[in-house]
Amino acid sequence: MSKNFNVNVEHVTRVEGHGNIVLNVEKGKIEKIQWQVPEAPRFFEAMLRGRQYTELRSITSRICGICSIGHSLASLKATENALDVNISEQTSLLRHLAINAENMQSHILHVGYLAAPDLFGVDSVIPLVGTDHTDALLKIIKLHRLSNKMSDLICGRTVHPIRLVVGGFSAVPTEKQLINLKKNLVDSIETTKNVAEVILSVADNIPDFTRETEYIGLSSEDEYAFYDGSITSTDTGVHSDNNDYKSIMNEFVVPQSTAKYAKHARDSYMVGALARFNLNSKQLHPLAKEIANMFGLKPISYNPFMNTISQVIEFVHNIEDSIKIIDQLVEAVIDDTEKPEKINADEGMGVGIVEVPRGILVHDYIIKDKKCLHANCIIPTNQNHANIQKDMEEFVPQIIDKSKKEIELNLEMLVRAYDPCISCSTHYLDVKFV
Amino acid sequence: MKPRVAFFDFASCEGCQLQIANLEEEILDLISIVDVVSFREIMKEHSDKYDIAIIEGSIMRPMDEKRICKIRSRAKILVALGACAVMGGINKIRNQWSAEEVKREVYGDADIKDNDFFDAFQTKAINEIVPVDYYIYGCPIDRDEFKRVITALSLGKKPEIPTYPVCVECKKNENVCLFELGKFCLGPITRAGCNAICPTNGSACDGCRGILKKPEVESIIEILERYDLTYEEMKSRSILYNYRKEE
C-alpha cells in the first residue's frame, strides 16, 4: 500500500469550539498526525483579577455555555470552601438536581444532534426531518426540552444559571413545581428507552477500536459521583486529598494548541461519561444498568467511541436519580423562603471539584478581602486533548486502507466521541496575581 | 426565495448559539422561514453563499480579524449575536491590562512567539472591525428576542429593540425592587428586552444587555441616594459587561 494523501479538517463540525485534524500520509507512511486546537484564548484570569467573591460564579459560568451550570457549581464550592460557608441539605439536594439537569441536556444534545448523524450516515439532523427517523428526532427534541425545562426551574435559566449563588439559591422551586417535574421525568422514561433502542439499531456503525488508557473521575461511597467525591483513577485508585489535584492533573503547553494538555500515570488519560462508567458503574440506578446491558457495555471499556453510549446510560441514571431527589425534597417539605448561608470568613483558599458532562472539573481560588487573588481551573476537555492525540496515532494505522473520505469521517467521529468542549479548554485560568 | 443564513463564532462560550439549539421544536419553524447554510456547532453542511451572517463572539487575533472581514464581504446583512459580539462583553474586562501583560501572565515562559494561534491583541467587539447592521443583546441572548429579530429580517423589516430600562419589565413582573432587598441592581441603566429575568429570579441585573444611550441619570441618582449609594458606584459595577477605556 503506497498512497499519498493529506487530511486537513479545519474547524471540525458538530463540536463545541474550534479544533483541526491534520494528517499527512506519504507512500503509505504516516508523516504527521495532529489534533490542533486553534480556539482564541480568552484569558479568564484577567477577568477574575480583583473581582468580588459574589461575581466569580457569574464570570466563570461564561467559560462555557454548555457547561455553565457545572462551572457555576465548581466555582461556588471553591468560594464556599475558601470563605467557610456551610450549605443546607436542601441546597445540596437542589444542586444535585441542577447537575443532573445539565448532564441530561448536554448528553442528549451530543448523542442526538452531534454524534447520531454519523451513525445515520447524514451530515446533520436536518436531513432526518421528513424521513423514517422523524419520530426518533422528535423524541430526542422532547428529552432535550425536558432537560432544559428542568434547568430553567432549578437554576432560573439553562445557559448561565441565575439562581445558583454563594451559600445557596436566590430563589427555589415550589413543591407543586417539583411534583410536576417528577411527573414529566417519569413520563420521559419510556421515551428515553425508545431513543436508546434507536441508537442500538445503528450501533454497528460505532467503530470497534480500543486502546488501553487511564480513566480519571470522582468516586463516592454514597452514590454515582457527580456533585461530590474523591479524585479516582483506574490506574492508581482513590486519592483521598482533593486539594492535591495538581499531583494528578499535570498540565502542560504544546505549540499546536491554545488549550493545555494533561497527563498522570501514562502519556495521557481520559475523563467524561466513559471514565465515570468505568469507575462507578456498580452505583448506577437499575434502569441505567439495564441500558448498559442492552449495549453490552462493561467496565473497563477501552473503546473511546463508547463514551457516547455511556452518555445514554448516564442520561437514564440522571432521570432515576432526580426522581429520587424530588421525593426526598418533598418529603422533607421544601422551604421556599430559605435564604443563602452567610460567609464566615473574608479570606481563604478553596478547591471545588464536580463532575460535569465532559468529565472532572476543578476550580481553585485564593480570596483576600472578599476579592479573588488567584484562580486555577482544570477543564475536562483539556484533560482529554492528549488522549485524543494518542488515540489518533493508534487508530489511523488500523484504518489506513480505507478511502480518504472514510478516514476523515472516522477521525471526526473519534473527536466527536469525546464531545470536546473547546471554548472551555482555552479558558486559561492558571496564574498567580500579584 | 428564503434568505440564506450562516452562523459563525469567535471568542465566546457559544452559549448564544446554544440558546438557538434550545429553541427545540421551534428550530423546525426557523428552517421553514430561512435556509440555514452554515452552523458549525450542529451541522457539517456548509456554504459560502449567504445573505445574513450571524456572529457570536469577540475578535481577539489578526487571524480572526481576517476571517470576520471575509464574512462581512460575503454577507448582505451582518448581525452581532450576544454581548461578546455586540460590545465585547465579559471578554473586555481584560482590556484593563495590555495584551502583552495578559499573555505574559498566562503563558509564562512557554515559546509562543510567531505562533498565530496565540497572537492575541486586546478584545474588540465586531463593530470595531467591520460594520454591523443589527444587534441581538444579552449574555446569553433571549430566545424570544432572537425569534423576533430573525422573523423581522426574513420579512425584510427592521427589528424593534427596547430603548427603556430593565426596571420597566421588572415592575411588570411585580417584583419587589432589589434595592429594597439590599442588593445593588443595574436594572435602571440597562437596556430591557430580557423580561428582567435576573431580578425575577432573585439576582441583581449585571447589565449584560448594555447601558442605555440616555439613562435617566437624575432620577436614578435620586433613587440611589435613598439607599446611600452613588451613581459612580453603579457605573463602576457595570464594567463586568461594559468595560470601556476612559476617554
Is residue A84 situated within a structural domain?
yes
Q: Is the ipTM of this complex over 0.90?
A: yes
- State residue B148's pLDDT score: 94
Please check whether residue A22 touches B, CB under 8 A: no
Grid coordinates of B141: 441572548
At A359, which helix (H) or strand (E)? Answer: strand A359-368
Cβ atoms of A420 and A36 within 8 Å: the answer is no
What angle is formed at CA A77 by the lines to CA A74 and CA A78, rounded to 5 degrees? 85
Q: pLDDT truncated to tens, each residue of chain B (247 aa)?
A: 899 999 999 999 999 999 998 998 888 888 889 999 998 888 888 899 999 999 999 999 999 999 999 999 999 999 999 999 999 999 999 998 888 888 877 777 777 777 777 788 999 999 999 999 999 999 999 999 999 999 999 999 999 999 999 999 999 999 999 999 999 999 999 999 999 999 999 999 999 999 999 999 999 999 999 999 999 999 989 999 999 876 4
Is residue A19 situated within a structural domain?
no
Is residue A249 situated within a structural domain?
no
Overall domain count for chain A: 1
pTM above 0.80, yes or no: yes
- State residue A259's pLDDT score: 77
**Domains of chain B, start order:** 4-154 (3.40.50.700), 166-242 (no CATH)
Is residue A33 situated within a structural domain?
no
**Which of B15, B24, B45 shows the shortest C-beta gap to A144?**
B24
The burial class, CB within 10 Å (0-12 / 13-18 / 19+), for B49 is exposed
**Which of A40, A46, A158 shows the shortest C-beta gap to B10?**
A40
Is residue A306 situated within a structural domain?
yes
Q: How far is A145 from chain B (nearest CA, A)?
A: 6
A65: CATH: 1.10.645.10
Across chain B, where does the E strand assignment appear?
4-9, 35-39, 52-56, 77-81, 134-136
At A195, which helix (H) or strand (E)? Answer: helix A175-201
Is residue A257 situated within a structural domain?
no
Grid coordinates of A420: 470536546
Please check whether residue B106 touches A, CB under 8 A: yes
Report the C-alpha gap between A182 and A178 in whole angstroms: 6
Is residue A22 situated within a structural domain?
no
* Interface A-B: count of C-beta contacts within 8 A: 164
- State residue A433's pLDDT score: 29
Domain coverage including residue A89: 44-230+270-379+407-432
**Which of B21, B28, B110 shows the shortest C-beta gap to A253?**
B110
Closest C-alpha among A351, A380, A360, A213 to residue A276: A360
Report the C-alpha gap between A130 and B49 in whole angstroms: 25
- State residue A59's pLDDT score: 95
- State residue A45's pLDDT score: 72
pLDDT mean values, one per 10 residues, chain A (434 residues): 81 83 90 85 80 95 94 98 98 98 96 92 86 90 96 97 98 97 98 96 95 98 97 96 94 78 92 98 98 98 98 98 98 93 97 97 96 91 93 95 92 94 59 30
- State residue B246's pLDDT score: 61
Please check whether residue A17 touches B, CB under 8 A: yes
Is residue A237 situated within a structural domain?
no
List the alpha helices (DSSP H) in A237-374: 273-280, 286-294, 306-331
Q: How far is B214 from chain A (nearest CA, A)?
A: 27
Give the tens place of pLDDT for each residue, B55-101. Answer: 999 999 999 999 999 999 999 999 999 999 999 999 999 998 888 88
Contacting residues of B for A163, CB less than 8 Å apart: 201-203
Please check whether residue B216 touches A, CB under 8 A: no
Helix (H, G, I), strand (E, B) or coil at A243: helix
Residues 67-96 of B with CB under 8 A from A: 89-91, 93-94, 96
What is the residue-wise DSSP string for B39-101? ETTT-S-B-S--SEEEEESBB-SHHHHHHHHHHHHH-SEEEEESHHHHH-GGGGGGGGS-HHH
Please check whether residue B28 touches A, CB under 8 A: yes
